[in-house]
Chains A and B, each alone.
Chain A
Amino acid sequence: MSVRSILIRNGRLIDPAARLDEAADVLLKEGRVAAIDGAGKIKERADTVIDARGLVVTPGFIDLHVHLREPGQAHKETIASGTAAAAAGGFTSVCAMPNTAPVNDSIEITRWMQAPERGAVVNVFPIAAATRGSQGKELTDFAALHRAGAVAVTDDGKPILDNSVMKQALLAAAHLRIPVIQHAEDTRLTVNSPLNQGPFAFRMGLRGQPPEAEGRIVERDVALARETNAHLHVAHISTAAALEAVRNAKRHGVRVTCEVAPHHFSFIDSDIGEYNTNYKMNPPLRSEADREAMLAGLVDGTIDAIATDHAPHAAFEKDVEFERAAYGITGLEVALGLAITRLHRAHDVSLRHIVALLSANPARIAGLPHRGTLAKGSYADVTIFDPAKKWTYDVSQTKSRSRNAPYDGMTFHGKVTHTIVGGTVVYQGK
């Protein structure tokens, strides 16, 4: 339902970009934030009033890393279904990865993804392929893709392995002030390796990916980013060594940012148990030491954002031999629950910090002005959640077309109650 104005009353407003964490009311009008003031101080009448007593009101969440699967793989997900899942998870904007079929390496596909006919219920910001067909050889036309709406470039799903291609990509992206997002995996070390290398993989009789496969690429990329003065963004970081490389780079003033997926701070390789393919993704779940490193990186600010790497797959692609199963799990609907349960409640990460990881920081990384904040004049993208609400995930109720999540039946704290995009409520939770 589209309304002209919404007044959100009595909530706890957390807007990290504006350094706000206080009781405040928010007035949304004509797609923008019209006013922020102390509780009860906004006297203007609104078409809709949301009573946010006991709830947290924040800038709409932004997911830097989702696979919406369109064009070409609508049996896994569509832009409509994926964004509906995003809305249910409190995300008002998603950045869509280019590993579609065909790969999004053209302005035509970039525009097609943003067309109203796709039926997106949240903002979709395409991320274009960095190389043609994501083959890692010839750069795409970054400038044209950027003009068509791409907010970053990446060959996600695969790394940009070649040194000179990566360097060219960084130089071209720096010129446009957009990040190069790297899927850091030295694929020469990960052939037929469906999980992390370690005692668990050995016991299960599976070949493991050595953690160096991630660390080495991040180290190389950091050096190239330093050389080119470009913005490198490391996707789904998962190992202690890679994180340490990012930490060092930041210390030396290199423009590097990174994101972590909720599953990498929540689970480890042995959670795969008896070959449960819903715990199979790339990068794989790592060791407990790596997971702890992710927690430390979140606490000390080395990790800039939480991104879901939402990767839907049909049952027939997952319900197969572990080695043959598709990589990836869905994650949009549980990201906040995992962050609050695993970070806030278990490790004392403040709600303000979590909100920054989900909104202000990703907005900055993807270069989305007037998003990731509720400062007056910003887009009226708002997420409202109940941080104390306990709930159980039921995958049969998912908005996604796919059900490849390990979260079915898991209980979380922290539930989205309202997702507002451009001043319109697109999701209302129970």
Chain B
Amino acid sequence: MKKNARGSLLAIEPLTQAQITVYLKMARRMDPTRPKPLLKNKRVVLLFYESSTRTRTSFEFAAKALGATTTLISASASSIEKGESLIDTGLTAQALGADAIIIRHPSSGAPYVLARHLNVPIINAGDGMHAHPSQALLDAVTMLDHFRTLKGLRVLITGDILHSRVARSNVQLLTKFGAKVTLCGPKSLLPELAEKLAPGLKLVRDFDEALRGIEVIMMLRVQKERLQGLDIDARDYVSHYQLTMDRVRLAAKNAIVMHPGPIIRGMEITDEAADCPQSVILEQVRNGVRTRMAILAHHVGGKR
């Protein structure tokens, strides 16, 4: 990789525990209501090839809370629609004076293309089915708000693992810290191969069985836009993998319910489970801003 590889955040996988801890510690010191001018006079480009509510808005708020100017380039309202290549779009953003590019892209690995050719830090805000490092970091921040340590923490990730960059990044982060991670879902959305994502992963098909003793219940949406002809029987899915209050009660007493969003009520989670006292889904959203402030401060702010 080129010179800026270290300055970019592309995935959790190559990071060490110590490097991840830097973000986590910094995130807990950040407060969106108390702006810090760490990114004063910096220009942050949000390059979004795919739709997003939470990630885009929280990166934008985070950048602004640090004093940066932001601009959004979205696929449907730019020269991307006219056929401009990813590299050319990136080079254009750089030439316009971008100090960092936050990219969301439907194709796995797309941020690496920019990182290889540009000199500014590239922040991966989700690439295809590959990685969503800022989500894994904010999830870890959220878990650490409720549990003393990630080590030994019993985490269950349930649902569409196959298409989930959130699952991949969470698995990488949590296993690095010694959490006990179990994956649960039907074969079509959770192939056996998933077990090889990281050492020590467990794969359980039966949701009820998997829930026992679990401290973190992380639910995932079935990604209809990525199914590519795969046929999921919704009724069957709901009966086997929907998180209901009865199922929440199978987990540890102090368990929390997480979901990266968007949640599809009535599909992977019931209203009751989504809104129950143990649910931290909106806490995750809130933590997104301070976590992304930490990411931006680390990669774009300060003396460079």
Q: Enumerate chain A interface residues (CB-CB to B < 8 A).
A: 191-192, 197-199, 202-207, 274-275, 316, 319-324
In the complex, chain B residues whose CB is within 8 Å of the CB of A204: 108-109, 130
Q: List 10 A-B contacts (CB under 8 A).
A: A197-B193, A202-B191, A202-B196, A204-B109, A205-B128, A205-B129, A205-B165, A205-B168, A207-B228, A274-B10
Q: A203-B196, A323-B107, A323-B128 are in contact. List 9 more A-B contacts (CB 8 A).
A: A202-B194, A205-B128, A205-B129, A205-B168, A206-B109, A206-B128, A274-B109, A320-B113, A321-B110
Q: Mark B128-150, 1 if CB is under 8 A from A, else 0.
A: 11110000000000000000000
Q: Are B108 and A206 in contact (CB under 8 A)?
A: yes
Find chain B residues with CB under 8 A from A320 CB: 85-87, 113
Structural contact, B193 and A319, CB atoms closer than 8 A: no
Within 8 A of A (CB), among B66-107: 85-87, 105, 107
CB distance from B171 to the nearest CB of A (A): 9
Contacting pair A203 B197 (CB below 8 A):
yes
| Set B1, B13, B113, B197: member contacting A321, Cβ < 8 A | B113
Contacts of A323 in B (CB 8 A): 107-109, 128
The residue of chain B having its C-beta at the shortest distance from the C-beta of A321 within the complex is B107
0/1 per residue, B1-22, Cβ < 8 Å to A? 1000000001001000000000
Instruction: Find chain B residues with CB under 8 A from A191 CB.
Output: 228
Task: Check if A321 sits within 8 Å of B86, measured CB to CB.
Answer: yes
Smallest CB-CB separation from A203: which chain B residue?
A: B197
Select one of A202, A274, A275, A322 contacting B193, CB under 8 A: A202
Rounded to whole angstroms, the CA-CA distance of A372 and B191 in the bound complex is 48
* Chain A residues near B215 (CB-CB < 8 A): none
State the CA gap A353–B197 with chains docked (Å). 40
Return the contact of A316 from the options B13, B85, B109, B165 (Cβ within 8 A). Answer: B85
Closest to A198 in B: B193
A206-B129, A316-B85, A320-B87 known; A199 vs B196 contact (CB < 8 Å): yes
- B1, B109, B165, B228: most-surrounded residue (chain A CB, <10 A): B109
Q: Is the CB of A321 within 8 A of B109?
A: yes
Cβ–Cβ contact B87 & A319, under 8 A: yes
B127 CB–A CB distance under 8 Å: yes
Say yes or no: B196 contacts A192, CB within 8 Å: no
Complex CA gap A319/B165 in Å reads 23
Which of A316, A321, A322 is most buried by chain B, counting CB atoms within 10 A of its CB?
Answer: A321
Residues of chain B lying within 8 A (CB to CB) of residue A274: 1, 10, 109, 112
Nearest residue (CB) in B for A274 is: B112
Asked, given contacts A192-B228, A205-B128, A205-B130, whether A322 binds B107 with beta carbons under 8 Å apart, the answer is yes
- With A and B bound together, what is the CA distance between A316 and B84 in angstroms? 11
Query: Which residue of A192, A204, A320 has the most chain B CB atoms within 10 A of its CB atom?
Result: A204
- The size of the chain B interface, using a CB distance under 8 A, is 27
CB-CB < 8 A to A321: which residues of B? 86, 105, 107, 109-110, 113
Contact residue among B108, B165, B228 (Cβ-Cβ distance under 8 Å from A275): B108
Measured between beta carbons, the chain A residues less than 8 angstroms from B87 are 319-320
| Least CB separation from B169: chain A residue | A205
Look across to chain A and name the residue whose beta carbon is closest to the beta carbon of B5: A274
Kindly state the separation between the CA atoms of A347 and B134 in the bound complex, as whole angstroms. 45
User: What's the dominant secondary structure at chain B's contact region?
Assistant: mixed
* B112 and A275 form a contact (CB under 8 A): yes
Interface residues of B in 189-220 (CB under 8 A from A): 191, 193-194, 196-197
Residue of A nearest to B171 (CB): A203
Query: Are A275 and B109 within 8 A (Cβ)?
Result: yes
Question: B113 to A275, Cβ gap below 8 A?
Answer: yes
Query: In chain A, what residue has the closest Cβ to B107?
Result: A321
Asked whether B117 is an interface residue with its Cβ less than 8 Å from the other chain, the reply is: yes
State A198–B109 Cα separation when bound (angstroms).
17
Interface residues of B in 123-180 (CB under 8 A from A): 127-131, 165, 168
Q: How far is the CB of A158 from chain B (nearest CB, A)?
A: 20
Chain B residues within 8 Å of A324, by CB: 107
* 1/0 contact string of B41-82 vs chain A (CB within 8 Å): 000000000000000000000000000000000000000000
Residues of A within 8 A of B130 (CB): 204-206
Give min CB distance, B115 to chain A, whole Å. 9
For the complex formed, measure the closest distance between the CB of B176 and the CB atoms of chain A, giving whole angstroms. Answer: 14
Shortest Cβ gap from B285 to chain A (Å): 23
Which 10 A-B residue pairings sit nearest by Cβ, starting from the closest?
A205-B130, A275-B109, A205-B129, A205-B108, A321-B107, A199-B196, A322-B109, A202-B193, A321-B110, A275-B112
Most buried by B among A197, A202, A205, A316: A205
Q: Which residues of B contact A205 (CB under 8 A)?
A: 108-109, 127-131, 165, 168
Per the bound structure, the CA–CA distance linking A192 and B108 in Å amounts to: 12
Q: How far is the CA of A206 from the CA of B228 in the complex (A)?
A: 13
Residues on B with C-beta less than 8 A from A319 are 87, 113, 117
Distance of A170 from chain B, by nearest CB (Å)? 32
* A278: min CB distance to chain B, Å: 12
Cβ of B3 to closest chain A Cβ, rounded Å: 15
Q: Which residues of A contact B128 (CB under 8 A)?
A: 205-206, 323
Q: How far is the CA of A58 from the CA of B196 in the complex (A)?
A: 47
List, in ascending order, chain B residues with CB within 8 A of A322's CB. 107-109
Distance, CA A192 to CA B128, complexed state (A): 13
Q: How far is the CA of A192 from the CA of B165 in the complex (A)?
A: 18
Chain A proximity of B1: nearest CB distance (Å)? 7
Q: How far is the CB of B161 from chain A (nearest CB, A)?
A: 9
**A205-B130, A319-B87, A320-B87 known; A199 vs B193 contact (CB < 8 Å):** yes
How close is B106's CB to chain A, nearest CB, in angstroms?
9
Contacts of B86 in A (CB 8 A): 320-321
Q: Which residues of B contact A207 (CB under 8 A)?
A: 228
Q: How far is the CB of A315 from chain B (nearest CB, A)?
A: 10
- List chain A residues, Cβ under 8 A from B108: 204-206, 275, 322-323
- Distance (Å) between the CB of A258 and the closest chain B CB? 28
Which residues does chain A contribute within 8 Å of B113, judged by CB atoms?
275, 319-321
Chain A hits for B129, CB < 8 A: 205-206
B227-282 residues with Cβ-Cβ distance < 8 A to A are 228
Cα A203 to Cα B10 in complex, Å, equals: 14
What A residues does B193 contact at CB under 8 A?
197-199, 202
Assembled-state Cα–Cα distance A197/B191 (Å): 11
Contacts of B194 in A (CB 8 A): 202
Distance between Cα atoms of A401 and B256 in the complex (Å): 58
- A275 surroundings in chain B (CB, below 8 A): 108-109, 112-113
Residues of chain A within 8 A of B165, CB atoms compared: 205
A202:B112 contact, CB within 8 angstroms? no
